[in-house]
Amino acid sequence: MANITDLSQLDLGGTYSYADYLTWRFEETVELFHGKVSLMSPAPNLAHQRVSIRLSGILYPFFKQQKCPLFAAPFDVRLYDRRKSIVANREIFTVVQPDLCVICDTDKLDSKGCLGAPDWVIEVLSANTARKDAQTKFQIYQEAGVKEYWLVHPYEATIVQFLLDEMEERYQFIKILTAEDQVSPQLFPDLSIDLQEVFAQ
């Protein structure tokens, strides 16, 4: 399979697998949603980066002491239908790059990133990604079995927290948190996050 060196060589209406993705050598960063190419937004804005780096700084010391490593974008997460067995690269059609993710099953980690659902995913929204993160990625993470999903809104200074009901295979809304709150992930109740620190101007 020939390497693709320019985004223009792709049919953006076509369907691609992770095997195809591995041949792409262009500068643009993309994700795959069920085989469809999704262009990443331009470089994240100041508010996004400020919140993302603060969350990273708060989470890193906690997870450094845990068996569950923390990763930040760019970091490829390959997702597949969890009701099927792990399949070959040519049969994986979703590759995402969460802003932050925590993976407790380290057997999912390899030299290319993560194969399978992280336990916890945090997406920090920007104007260009809000719809994708709140709708498309929400569905993808739910289908793949990501146990906890946070949508972080830098401008509104809020976090929307979801937890997967594994029996129903659907996200349950937990709460909306504001800058005045202290929050702990449902999966890691010993971790306390001061949102005043996260959202400080």
Domains of the chain listed by start with CATH number: 7-39 (no CATH), 46-199 (3.90.1570.10)
Other Cβ atoms within 10 Å of 3 Cβ, number: 10
Q: Which two tokens stand for residue 61?
A: 């010391």
CA-based angle 44:48:50, to the nearest 5?
115
Q: Cβ(98)–Cβ(118) under 8 Å?
A: yes
What pLDDT shows up at residue 29? 87
**24: which DSSP letter?**
B
pLDDT tens track for 1-57: 567 888 889 998 899 999 999 999 988 889 999 999 998 866 678 889 999 999 999
Q: Cβ(71)–Cβ(52) under 8 Å?
A: no
Q: Enter the pTM of the model.
A: 0.91
Name which of 201, 165, 159, 153 is nearest 181 in CA terms: 159
